[in-house]
Amino acid sequence: MTVNQIDVGTADRILDAAEALAQTRGFNGFSYAHIAEQLGITKASLHYHFASKGQLGEALITRYAERFAGALENIDEVEEDARDKLAAYAALYSGVLDDGRMCLCGMLAAEYETLPKPMANAIVGFFDANHAWLTQVLAQGRADGTLEFHGDPGEGAQVVLGGLEGALLVARPYGDPARFHTAARRLLAAFARAT
Amino acid sequence: MTVNQIDVGTADRILDAAEALAQTRGFNGFSYAHIAEQLGITKASLHYHFASKGQLGEALITRYAERFAGALENIDEVEEDARDKLAAYAALYSGVLDDGRMCLCGMLAAEYETLPKPMANAIVGFFDANHAWLTQVLAQGRADGTLEFHGDPGEGAQVVLGGLEGALLVARPYGDPARFHTAARRLLAAFARAT
DNA sequence: GTCTATAGGCAGATAGAC
DNA sequence: GTCTATCTGCCTATAGAC
């Protein structure tokens, strides 16, 4: 039924709402009541799909990390030049800010100490995956001469990852996406070969 | 009395405890009950000193920002070379991480949307002060030849501020201060004149 | 799968005695 | 200034009917 429309299912709609709330208000900043109101169902129904808030949080990170990994694969397919790959990577961050959101795992990293262990581990896994991808891009770019920078590519990856997460973090209270864009552009320019 | 010992007063002890909690767990991650237990007094007593949690939060940011401003003044007095000023600035961040903390305002920036307006405004004020100081240091450094970088010093200041906040954010879940140090060193190296 | 109803706990906050 | 006692509200979670 509803042929021209994807039936996303209630679980996905719950995840969508929870994701938006977690990215704007933090994991400790929203409740089942917020989600229930947005979806027009009761809190009790939410527990049928996600027994506890911790399990909902785990599902949130898993789905986010998978989607992100898919986006990185896509960049590898579409972009050739390492500079373009980095720009596309930064555009992923820019996209979340357009909705007034923080990166999900950046937000959860702040709340790290209050989260259940499975969530905490998943967050580190997300950062590891990003770091590995960035390290490989930086190494490739230096090898083929499109990038130019000193030191270990792994350390450079830390600078890029932290720099973009931090640029999001600081830009959001200003309500000004341009603040992120300028910082991101300057940050990546430090790795690009002078033309 | 207690000549060789500074009497900090209950209000300060409350602020100390609340600050540590806010920097590790976030503003939505602690309660009056947490503070009361640490100090060995009741929740009701806390309300005598800070009527509401929002007012406590405001006092928290004000004190933090003043202390930070003092530290920046001190750097200006002690350090001559812009590269040393930047290193000393990064050391301020490093110091909070040693206690497993996030920068207070970086943490609060994540929770921005859930905070009372006065707190939100104070956070932006903190970032503005840091940005202004960094801009001036970068401009000075380029003028006297100790620093070398492209573009506007104000944009460079955004990269440094965001980069350090983000490096803290990402390093904390790893429980590894070294992760911050390497990222910070690499970040600042991009601004230092090659020797 | 969704509902009503409710449990049990913790949140921020207040009144009033000492 | 600090206490006991209490209020109201929201939180996560469960039981059981439909």
pLDDT recorded at residue A1: 43
Q: Measured between alpha carbons, how far is B68 from B66 in angstroms, rounded to an integer?
A: 5
Hey, where are the domains in chain A? 62-189
Q: Does the pLDDT value for residue B1 go beyond 60?
A: no
- Separation in Å, CA of A83 to nearest CA in chain B: 17
Q: Does the pLDDT value for residue B37 go beyond 60?
A: yes
Residue A125 CA and nucleotide D17 C1' are separated, in Å, by: 43
Q: What tokens appear for A55 in the block? A: 């399990």
Instruction: Determine, for residues A164 and B166 on separate chains, whether the beta-carbon distance falls below 8 Å.
Output: yes
User: Percentage of chain A surpassing pLDDT 90?
Assistant: 94
Q: Which residue has the higher pLDDT, A39 or A192?
A: A39
Q: Measured between alpha carbons, how far is B23 from B168 in angstroms, rounded to an integer?
A: 11
- Separation in Å, CA of A123 to nearest CA in chain B: 8
- Assess whether A7 (CB) lies less than 7 A from strand C: no
Residues B167-188 have pLDDT tens digits of: 999 999 999 999 999 999 999 9
Q: Under CATH, what is the fold of the domain A62-189?
A: Tetracycline Repressor; domain 2 (1.10.357)
Name the residues in A42-81 having a C-beta closer than 7 Å to nucleic acid strand C: 42-45, 48-49
B100-114 mean pLDDT: 98
Task: Provide DSSP, B87-154.
Answer: HHHHHHHHHHHHTTPPPHHHHHHHTGGGS-HHHHHHHHHHHHHHHHHHHHHHHHHHHHTSB--SS-HH
- Which residues of A are less than 8 Å from B24 in CB distance? 113
Q: Which residues contact B111 (CB under 8 A, 6 or more apart)?
A: A25, A26, A29, A110, B26, B27, B28
Confidence of residue A115 (pLDDT cuts 50, 70, 90): very high
Burial letters A145-171, b for 16+ CB under 10 A, else e: ebbebeeebebbbbbbbbbbbbbbbbb
Task: Give the lowest-confidence range in A62-76, B1-15, B75-89, B179-193.
Answer: B1-15
What class, spelled out in words, does domain B10-189 have in CATH?
mainly alpha
**Which residue in A185, A132, A146 sits closest to A163, CA to CA?**
A185
According to DSSP, residue B5 is labeled S
Residue of A150, A158, A163 lying closest to B162 (CB–CB): A163
Residue of A106, A114, A155 lying closest to B25 (CB–CB): A114
pLDDT recorded at residue A195: 63
Q: Which bases along strand C come within 7 Å of a protein CB atom?
A: 1-6, 10-16
pLDDT recorded at residue A169: 98
Residues A57-105 have pLDDT tens digits of: 999 999 999 999 999 999 999 999 999 999 999 999 999 999 999 999 9
pLDDT recorded at residue A193: 77
For the entire predicted model, the pTM comes to: 0.97
In B26-52, alpha helices (H) = 32-39, 43-49
Q: Measured between alpha carbons, how far is A150 from A155 in angstroms, rounded to an integer?
A: 10
Q: Does the pLDDT value for residue A45 go beyond 60?
A: yes
Residue B9 CA and nucleotide D8 C1' are separated, in Å, by: 32
Instruction: Determine, for residues B165 and A169 on separate chains, whether the beta-carbon distance falls below 8 Å.
Output: yes
B65-70 mean pLDDT: 98
